[in-house]
Amino acid sequence: MPPDSTRRSERSRRAIYDAALALVTEVGYPKTTIEGIAARAGVGKQTIYRWWSSKADVLLEAFIDLSAQAAEAADRAEVIGEQAAYEIPDTGDLEADLKLVLRATVDELLDPAFEAPSRALAAEGVVNEEVGREFVGKLLEPQLQLYVKRLRAAQEQGAVRADLDPRIALELFVSPLAQRWLQYTGPITYEYTDKLVEYALYGLAPR
Amino acid sequence: MPPDSTRRSERSRRAIYDAALALVTEVGYPKTTIEGIAARAGVGKQTIYRWWSSKADVLLEAFIDLSAQAAEAADRAEVIGEQAAYEIPDTGDLEADLKLVLRATVDELLDPAFEAPSRALAAEGVVNEEVGREFVGKLLEPQLQLYVKRLRAAQEQGAVRADLDPRIALELFVSPLAQRWLQYTGPITYEYTDKLVEYALYGLAPR
DNA sequence: GCTCGACAAGACGACGCGTCTCGCCAAGAA
DNA sequence: TTCTTGGCGAGACGCGTCGTCTTGTCGAGC
């Protein structure tokens, strides 16, 4: 039978999240062990096995929690443009808006606190379809839907062709950045993401 | 001191490649162990540790070998269009050529014999920069350079703007497919890759 | 005050790690 | 031919982590 969640220790849960994120950052995902997380968190191993099914599962929840905290903090501070986790700006200039957001994404991808855990989860997701789909569903796809929304607005404004599928269109500038980050296929710079936006909007063929 | 490669057993090398590829396909990368590869190949563990530094290293060489064999076979058969590992066709119609090659790539990505090992290596590469760079340098980048060559030809033909960087341009249609495959962010179909080519060539903005 | 179940701690057998020590055997030297 | 060399298959070894199980503690609700 499942454990009684009303008696669950919030203190342990938080300690486990913190320990998991710290260990992944410090020693890397492969050397992060359940035993290590338990020891660091001052927690019995059984407490981890009681609530999570695997190392990846722990890290996924820890990272979701971290993202939620970060989004909340950004929301409170009402900082626009630095890392708009909740919405993509709409100034009426699609090209400028996309360039701005992609530059912010570049900053986030290179932020060590986010890089280690998200790399670990992405890697696990490549080889473990269940983890992959959960990672995408809970973290990646919601971000991508922000682009869908912005592109739909652009279609109404006439800045993007009305017959295009926004969910595919966004991949033209998001996926190249993602691939460079995931697979080290090239450098990640503002100049690069700016070009991606330009190439995607105006096409490779001459006008 | 390094071992004497002139006395190396070719028989063992091949058996190790075969065992590694088979195990990754059958039980998955995480459950593939050096001990398991050795046992399956009928080989002492030390023989593996003598010539390779890690599980990823073994698999990388095994997969490179597999790819080389496949390319050689395709070359011999002179099959054009099904899986052109050596060159991208140039019929003068860039859109058609790219659609054809991307459709072939879709087939390859869904081929079980290639999928398991290449997923495993990609995953390892995400979290292990050294493996990642080797994977890219030896396997991925050579493939991408075929697109660079084809796009350069298209630029000379006037089918692609002369001021674009072909190495970035190719990412508009290759990376989205790669991301969907790696991260399960969406279905992979011919219709999808066809659209990628169209969107990339003619742009998102109205003409 | 009593019960119940999560908790920290850690013992347990299983297993893969990477290193090592054995004979065995084939190729080149004497 | 005989001798030497070094990779070879096999597997023992100590170590660390796995996931499970046991023990005693503690706090919340009846």
Model confidence pLDDT, tens digit, residues B67-98: 998 888 877 665 544 444 579 999 999 999 99
- pLDDT, one tens digit per residue, over B34-80 is 999 999 999 999 999 999 999 999 999 999 999 998 888 877 665 54
> Which residue type does A108 have?
E
Is any atom of strand C within 7 angstroms of residue A3's beta carbon? Answer: yes
Q: Which residues of B touch A165 (CB under 8 A)?
A: 195
Determine the nucleotide nearest to A9 by Cα–C1' distance: C6
Query: What are the per-10-residue average pLDDT scores of chain A (207 residues)?
Result: 88 98 96 98 98 97 93 67 68 98 97 94 96 97 98 98 98 98 98 98 96
* A104: enclosing H helix or E strand: helix A94-109
- pLDDT, one tens digit per residue, over B168-183 is 999 999 999 999 999 9
| All residues at 6 or more sequence positions from B24 whose CB lies less than 8 Å from its CB, including other chains | B32, B59, B116, B117, B120
Nearest CA in chain B to A195: B168
How far, in Å, CA of B16 to CA of B40, rounded? 8
SS3 state of residue B146: helix
How far, in Å, CA of B135 to CA of B57, rounded? 10
- pLDDT, one tens digit per residue, over B123-175 is 999 999 999 999 999 999 999 999 999 999 999 999 999 999 999 999 999 99
Residue with tokens 């879709």: B106
Which of B31, B171, B193, B194 is the best substitution to test chain A (most A C-beta atoms within 10 A)? B171
Q: Separation of CA A45 and C1' D19 in angstroms? A: 10
How high is the pLDDT of residue B62? 98
B163 burial via Cβ count (<10 Å: 0-12, 13-18, 19+): exposed
Mean pLDDT of B110-121: 95
A149 burial via Cβ count (<10 Å: 0-12, 13-18, 19+): middle
The answer to whether the Cβ–Cβ distance between B132 and A184 falls below 8 Å is yes
Is any atom of strand C within 7 angstroms of residue B128's beta carbon? Answer: no
Which of A60, A118, A204 is the best substitution to test chain B (most B C-beta atoms within 10 A)? A204
Q: Separation of CA A70 and C1' C6 in angstroms? A: 30
- pLDDT, one tens digit per residue, over A142-189 is 999 999 999 999 999 999 999 999 999 999 999 999 999 999 999 999
Determine the nucleotide nearest to A36 by Cα–C1' distance: D17
How far, in Å, CA of A118 to CA of B120, rounded? 17
How high is the pLDDT of residue B85? 53
**In contact, A206 and B158? CB cutoff 8 Å:** yes
- Touching B: A residues 136-155, CB under 8 Å: 136, 140-141, 144, 151
* Predicted TM-score of the model (pTM): 0.94
**In contact, A37 and A57? CB cutoff 8 Å:** no
How far, in Å, CA of B175 to CA of A180, rounded? 9
Is any atom of strand C within 7 angstroms of residue A43's beta carbon? Answer: yes
> Which residues 49 to 68 of B reach strand C, CB within 7 A?
49, 54-55
Percent of chain A with pLDDT over 70: 95
Q: Separation of CA A59 and C1' C17 in angstroms? A: 24
- Dihedral (C-alpha) A198, A160, A79, A23: value to the nearest 10 degrees? -70
- Touching A: B residues 163-182, CB under 8 Å: 164-165, 167-169, 171-176, 178-180, 182
**In contact, A177 and A105? CB cutoff 8 Å:** yes
Mean pLDDT of B196-202: 98
The answer to whether the Cβ–Cβ distance between B172 and A30 falls below 8 Å is no
Residue with tokens 């540790």: B49
**In contact, B93 and B157? CB cutoff 8 Å:** no
